[in-house]
Structure 1
Amino acid sequence: MSKVVLITGGSSGIGKSIGEFLHQKGYTVYGTSRNPKNYKNSLFSLLELDVKNTVTINNAVQSVIKAEGRLDVLINNAGAGITGPIEEIPEEEIKANFDTNFFGPINVIKAVLPQMRAQNSGLILNITSIAGYMGLPYRGIYSASKGALELLTEAFRMELKAFNIEMTNVAPGDFSTNIAAGRYHAPLKEDSPYKASYGQTLELMNEHVDSGSDPDMMAKAVYKIINTNKPKGHYKVGEFMQKFSIVLKRILPDTVYEKMLMKHYKL
């Protein structure tokens, strides 16, 4: 019997690549989108789900369970980017980002746990980010939201062991997706003390995404994790230097690592 997989944010980017790859491997895949009617050529079923709306979350999860009688894998992929000087990002935008990147995944997890507990089995993959391992300039809110999800997963893993439910983080580096188009960008203000440094950092970030890795790399990594008997708590997927940056943060003095980041971003 093929495993039943639910992927939030499955209409584009990494989520779409994962869904198509798993579909081709014989999995029963359900993706989600806030507006599934806009994606008529999806290879797998798309359900309406907004991670900021618990009604849509519960409706989508119950639709899968009603149709399939089970839910084996949840991939918490839906997320949003945000950039800007922390001082200049409106509070409502900071809260909105955490609603999508942190509170949203929590509510999707809460919705699937009763079914997984009843099955005495299940796997939850939270798609975080290598940016969640470090505070990046002009991406501080994004780093914080993804870092919070990384830590949450560590606690969840221990709470769920008794129910035979596994949870893990998968942290991608820069991938060639449309995430930059959907980001909230704090505007470049003419009178801002951050204008020059934020402007050049923004250009650099967009270049990284445009020249990023193929999302199929993430799809293959997720497939491998799903077929791992006891998944680890953390996986990193991306170019060598992006993954190695986490190792460097662990071994270098804070001030040295900070200088390295500032040099990278030309600050």
Structure 2
Amino acid sequence: MESKVVFITGGSSGIGKSIGTFLTNKGCKVYGTTRNLENYPDFEPFTLIQLDVKDVESIKKAVSDVVSKEGRIDVLINNAGVGITGPIEETPHEEILKVFETNFHGPIHMMKAVLPQMRKQGGGAIINITSIAGYMGLPFRGFYSATKGALGLITEALRMEVKDFGVTVTNVAPGDFATNIAAGRYHAPVLDGSAYEDKYAQTLDGINVDVDSGGDPMQVAHAVYKIMNQKAPKVHNPVGAFLQKFSLCLKRILPDKVYEKLLLNHYKL
């Protein structure tokens, strides 16, 4: 079987690197992207190319270069993303715009760039890496939840629009995994005397503990590979610890106030 050409945004570390490494070992031709290629002179697992998901011209050039070299792009994995925490009232609006530019607008730019090629070649797959956090509004992570939730809804809509072109669109929603996302996350400062000071600081500590003790991101890579080999993948594919996935079932069946109470108890709010 012909090797699939896979294009992964945010491929230099974390979940993206794990996916790229796993797919390369499965025989795929993988192109990962990074904003700062000069920081990875000895990167080995797969080919790393320059791309900034906030820069449309950068996207067009990278996609064009891969198509020129390989003649096709079989799978786009929209993985690049950034974290953000903070009280909604106190988070600077410029930071809100930045996280939406990367987590929401960036994947849209990427999908627009690859869809003409996928139509031309008669098919393809788009896999959006969202988050279990995107299925619920989490306290002090509301903007992150909003970006991932919005991308999940775009996934639902786009898969219906492009189904006649042989293009499948799905999302993989990871829970907490041990990655370096905390290092690049924007934290609204804990302000002395703020009405949110104690609760936000407490929640922030808990978030960092959850990430540090998270699962192996290779679990996400296995899920992506499975989806790539399905003719009709599901639109929603949560990946993570049992309780994280079970929380989505509870949200569907419990009354809103009951589910909210569970979250309040979990975050000790």
**Structure 2 CA distance, aligned partners of 1:41 and 1:94?**
32
Q: Which residue number in structure 2 is paired with residue 135 of structure 1? A: 137
Paired letter, 2:144: Y
Question: Partner of 1:137: helix, strand, or coil?
Answer: coil
Q: Which residue number in structure 2 is paired with residue 231 of structure 1? A: 233
Paired letter, 1:31: G
Deviations 1:69-105, CA, capped at 9 Å, x for gaps: 0110000000000000000001110011000000000
TM-score w.r.t. structure 1 length?
Answer: 0.99
Question: Partner of 2:43: helix, strand, or coil?
Answer: coil
Query: 8 Å contact 1:70–1:115 — kept in the other structure?
Result: yes
Q: Which residue number in structure 2 is paired with residue 12 of structure 1? A: 13
Paired letter, 1:86: I
**Equivalent of residue 170 in structure 1, options 169, 172, 177:** 172
Deviations 1:196-223, CA, capped at 9 Å, x for gaps: 0000000000000000000010111111
**Structure 2 CA distance, aligned partners of 1:142 and 1:265?**
16
Query: Is 1:21 paired with 2:14?
Result: no
**Structure 2 CA distance, aligned partners of 1:7 and 1:84?**
29
Paired letter, 1:36: L
How many Å apart are 1:120 and its aligned residue? 1.0
Paired letter, 1:256: V
**Structure 1 CA distance, aligned partners of 2:180 and 2:208?**
10
How many Å apart are 1:191 and its aligned residue? 1.8
Paired letter, 1:5: V
Q: Which residue number in structure 2 is paired with residue 31 of structure 1? A: 32
Paired letter, 2:160: M
4+ aligned runs moved over 6 Å, structure 1: none
**Structure 2 CA distance, aligned partners of 1:122 and 1:150?**
19
Q: Which residue number in structure 1 is paired with residue 267 of structure 2? A: 265
Q: CA RMSD in A?
A: 0.6
Q: Which residue number in structure 1 is paired with residue 102 of structure 2? A: 100
How many Å apart are 1:43 and its aligned residue? 1.3
Deviations 1:39-89, CA, capped at 9 Å, x for gaps: 122311111111100011111101110010011000000000000000000
How many Å apart are 1:38 and its aligned residue? 1.2
Paired letter, 1:15: G
How many Å apart are 1:245 and its aligned residue? 0.3
Figure out how many residues of one structure are paired with residues of the other and give that number. 267
How many Å apart are 1:37 and its aligned residue? 2.1
Query: 8 Å contact 1:11–1:42 — kept in the other structure?
Result: no
**Structure 1 CA distance, aligned partners of 2:148 and 2:43?**
31
Question: Partner of 1:138: helix, strand, or coil?
Answer: coil
Question: Partner of 1:124: helix, strand, or coil?
Answer: strand
**Structure 2 CA distance, aligned partners of 1:24 and 1:33?**
20
Structure 1 unaligned spans of 5+: none
**Structure 1 CA distance, aligned partners of 2:240 and 2:261?**
23
Paired letter, 1:34: R
Query: 8 Å contact 1:78–1:100 — kept in the other structure?
Result: yes
**Structure 2 CA distance, aligned partners of 1:214 and 1:55?**
34
Q: Which residue number in structure 2 is paired with residue 47 of structure 1? A: 49
Structure 2 unaligned spans of 5+: none
Paired letter, 2:13: S
TM-score w.r.t. structure 2 length?
Answer: 0.98
How many Å apart are 1:172 and its aligned residue? 0.2
Q: Which residue number in structure 2 is paired with residue 77 of structure 1? A: 79
Question: Partner of 2:89: helix, strand, or coil?
Answer: helix
